[in-house]
Chains A and B, each alone.
Chain A
């Protein structure tokens, strides 16, 4: 508009720019720098080059364990959560009465799930005399020492994450409901049974949303902290010691911030690589309406 300076818009976004620089960009680069040092908060900063990374990748057993556990956690929760969300969304996607009620019922866990209160609940649910074991014994099974066994401990925090599938489900449901009904009619006329229609019509059209959800879930899963920290404390035997916990402990309990930064950067690199792979692979399986099928 006339009379407006060319920079007027710039002034409006200035707060964001300042925040971006001070709270994101500079810390981002700062942590990269720190990862090449042995900074310990109280002491000075000594440059150690790649030593931290070498230690992490070769001699740090804790890291190896933590990394394995984290990858296992992500590989378990992301596909399962997406699959389950999609499954429920497709069941909901019909002219049912009470869709709103079900949708709310499934969504509530995902708004509460990240809280400490729910983590606390989980701890008590899976305790030796907790609700889950009560159910198992009531049904004639043996009680399980959930927090005593490495495998089952991971199971408890996995279940917590899966419990929160509502947020992904709502997005899938919205996408499903936006698919033109006439496509299904055309498929029916072509003789496709419901299953066939799902794979031939629904799934391809959903691939962008699946892709979006997958990336979001993956990035979040790698940063899971509340659940493991409160429920299992990382144990037993570090079987739920996800990388964010390791970073936290290194940085804020041992104050070995140089080393912690290096671990954070390794985690970041892993996330970036996987995200890039996902983007690269999306060429082959994500179908945007309006593109030509290859």
Chain B
């Protein structure tokens, strides 16, 4: 039973190129931790360093109670599921599954038993005597999963395992993986997972906690709800959630009743909720953030923003409306009836939900409205 600890982990290439800037992370025992971020954020590099496929330039990695920096991959108590499956092409599925156990010197009966066990769980029994080239993408990935399961490792590592599958398969595999994780936990087996993906939907649906990375640094580590509702900075705010949060240049000033946010020639007044959350001294040029779903039509007479509609995408039950307010572009999601009503009235008058509004420091990107 293990947890994984990363302290000041650094990776430097060719003496000068620093890919990973000293990150710290703790993964609890049995936790499903997702590393997510755009390409180039060094999430895969981090994973490969945990696996031992890349050497550590600085800091250390602990699995359980062992520092594993200098241990070869096979001695770390980890198993890995690769993006391209990495099945041994000349070995049948059965052998692919049992290769690691054979190297470890396990007895034949034990190996056979475990192969059978894993094959049942993943429903790949009919495939046991096939070669990898005879498998479909989904089947191959299940075999790769089986190869990891059979080892009963302390930590499972996943390197973008679903990116090569089509959308439908991806959805069903996601469920399969999370189900497996839950089952392992129930059975009391080690089930710590570090899962790398670039797809934030995957991250949000699968992870117990999510570690958002950018350019070799950690932007925020939290559970999905917190990431969504309390993003630590503009990057996380814009990265998590579909459609993307509106992040717009604005000016903040203090009015008599509360903070006033100005976009170009328009402003909107907010009250105690935002005032209470704002850090002291926040003023002037800021980045204003609010999700498209958190707008509503303003009641007549209410303080609101007048929006010019550029484009409206009908999605059946709701409408993605692209609008201009004071020269800045926004996306707003409205129920169809509301949109029709608004259009009928001639212009769209909308108001963002005050509780859902964020103010970010223009320079640092930090969320200054969390308090």
Q: What is the interface of chain A, defined by CB distance below 8 A to chain B?
A: 1-4
The residue of chain A having its C-beta at the shortest distance from the C-beta of B72 within the complex is A3
B186 at interface by CB-CB < 8 Å: no
The residue of chain A having its C-beta at the shortest distance from the C-beta of B49 within the complex is A2
Determine the chain B residues whose CB is within 8 A of the CB of A2 once the complex forms: 52-56, 68-73
Interface of B is mostly: loop
24 cross-chain CB contacts under 8 A:
A1-B52, A1-B53, A1-B54, A1-B55, A1-B72, A1-B73, A2-B52, A2-B53, A2-B54, A2-B55, A2-B56, A2-B68, A2-B69, A2-B70, A2-B71, A2-B72, A2-B73, A3-B52, A3-B70, A3-B71, A3-B72, A3-B73, A3-B75, A4-B72
Interface centre among A1, A2, A3, A4 (most CB of B within 10 A): A2
The smallest C-beta distance from B82 to any residue of chain A, in angstroms, reads: 15
Determine the chain A residues whose CB is within 8 A of the CB of B69 once the complex forms: 2
The smallest C-beta distance from A1 to any residue of chain B, in angstroms, reads: 6
The residue of chain B having its C-beta at the shortest distance from the C-beta of A2 within the complex is B52
The smallest C-beta distance from B281 to any residue of chain A, in angstroms, reads: 47
Beyond A2-B72, A3-B75, 5 additional contacts (C-beta under 8 Å) are A2-B54, A2-B55, A3-B52, A3-B71, A4-B72
Determine the chain B residues whose CB is within 8 A of the CB of A1 once the complex forms: 52-55, 72-73
Interface of A is mostly: loop
Q: What is the interface residue range for chain B against chain A?
A: 10 to 19
Interface string of B63-84 (1 = CB under 8 A from A): 0000011111101000000000
The smallest C-beta distance from B95 to any residue of chain A, in angstroms, reads: 23
Determine the chain B residues whose CB is within 8 A of the CB of A4 once the complex forms: 72
Which 8 A-B residue pairs are closest in the complex by CB-CB distance? A3-B72, A2-B52, A3-B71, A2-B55, A1-B53, A2-B72, A2-B70, A1-B52
Bound Cα distance from A283 to B53, whole angstroms: 43
The smallest C-beta distance from A86 to any residue of chain B, in angstroms, reads: 40
Interface string of B83-103 (1 = CB under 8 A from A): 000000000000000000000
Determine the chain A residues whose CB is within 8 A of the CB of B52 once the complex forms: 1-3
The smallest C-beta distance from A108 to any residue of chain B, in angstroms, reads: 33
Bound Cα distance from A2 to B48, whole angstroms: 10
The residue of chain B having its C-beta at the shortest distance from the C-beta of A4 within the complex is B72
The residue of chain A having its C-beta at the shortest distance from the C-beta of B53 within the complex is A1
The smallest C-beta distance from B153 to any residue of chain A, in angstroms, reads: 16
Determine the chain A residues whose CB is within 8 A of the CB of B56 once the complex forms: 2
The residue of chain A having its C-beta at the shortest distance from the C-beta of B61 within the complex is A2
Determine the chain B residues whose CB is within 8 A of the CB of A3 once the complex forms: 52, 70-73, 75
Bound Cα distance from A2 to B74, whole angstroms: 10
Bound Cα distance from A3 to B72, whole angstroms: 4
Bound Cα distance from A2 to B55, whole angstroms: 5
Query: Using a CB-CB cutoff of 8 Å, which residues 1-55 of chain B contact chain A?
Result: 52-55
The smallest C-beta distance from A151 to any residue of chain B, in angstroms, reads: 59
Bound Cα distance from A2 to B56, whole angstroms: 8
The smallest C-beta distance from B78 to any residue of chain A, in angstroms, reads: 11
Bound Cα distance from A2 to B51, whole angstroms: 9
The smallest C-beta distance from A289 to any residue of chain B, in angstroms, reads: 29
The smallest C-beta distance from B18 to any residue of chain A, in angstroms, reads: 19
Determine the chain A residues whose CB is within 8 A of the CB of B71 once the complex forms: 2-3
Bound Cα distance from A2 to B11, whole angstroms: 13
Determine the chain A residues whose CB is within 8 A of the CB of B70 once the complex forms: 2-3
Determine the chain A residues whose CB is within 8 A of the CB of B54 once the complex forms: 1-2
Bound Cα distance from A1 to B72, whole angstroms: 7
Bound Cα distance from A1 to B53, whole angstroms: 5
The residue of chain B having its C-beta at the shortest distance from the C-beta of A3 within the complex is B72
The residue of chain A having its C-beta at the shortest distance from the C-beta of B56 within the complex is A2
The residue of chain B having its C-beta at the shortest distance from the C-beta of A6 within the complex is B55
Bound Cα distance from A4 to B52, whole angstroms: 10
Bound Cα distance from A6 to B102, whole angstroms: 28
Bound Cα distance from A97 to B68, whole angstroms: 62
The smallest C-beta distance from B75 to any residue of chain A, in angstroms, reads: 7
Determine the chain A residues whose CB is within 8 A of the CB of B72 once the complex forms: 1-4
The smallest C-beta distance from A6 to any residue of chain B, in angstroms, reads: 10
The smallest C-beta distance from A5 to any residue of chain B, in angstroms, reads: 10
The smallest C-beta distance from A4 to any residue of chain B, in angstroms, reads: 7
Bound Cα distance from A3 to B212, whole angstroms: 29
Bound Cα distance from A3 to B52, whole angstroms: 8
Bound Cα distance from A294 to B53, whole angstroms: 46
Bound Cα distance from A4 to B74, whole angstroms: 12
The smallest C-beta distance from A11 to any residue of chain B, in angstroms, reads: 16
The smallest C-beta distance from B60 to any residue of chain A, in angstroms, reads: 12
Bound Cα distance from A90 to B73, whole angstroms: 53
Bound Cα distance from A215 to B71, whole angstroms: 49
Bound Cα distance from A1 to B54, whole angstroms: 5
Determine the chain A residues whose CB is within 8 A of the CB of B73 once the complex forms: 1-3
The smallest C-beta distance from B203 to any residue of chain A, in angstroms, reads: 27
The smallest C-beta distance from A138 to any residue of chain B, in angstroms, reads: 59
Bound Cα distance from A1 to B51, whole angstroms: 9
Interface string of B321-344 (1 = CB under 8 A from A): 000000000000000000000000
Bound Cα distance from A3 to B69, whole angstroms: 8
The smallest C-beta distance from B45 to any residue of chain A, in angstroms, reads: 13
The smallest C-beta distance from B79 to any residue of chain A, in angstroms, reads: 16
Bound Cα distance from A4 to B71, whole angstroms: 9
Determine the chain A residues whose CB is within 8 A of the CB of B53 once the complex forms: 1-2
The smallest C-beta distance from A54 to any residue of chain B, in angstroms, reads: 52
Bound Cα distance from A114 to B55, whole angstroms: 50
The smallest C-beta distance from B359 to any residue of chain A, in angstroms, reads: 44
The smallest C-beta distance from A239 to any residue of chain B, in angstroms, reads: 57
Bound Cα distance from A114 to B153, whole angstroms: 59
Bound Cα distance from A3 to B71, whole angstroms: 5
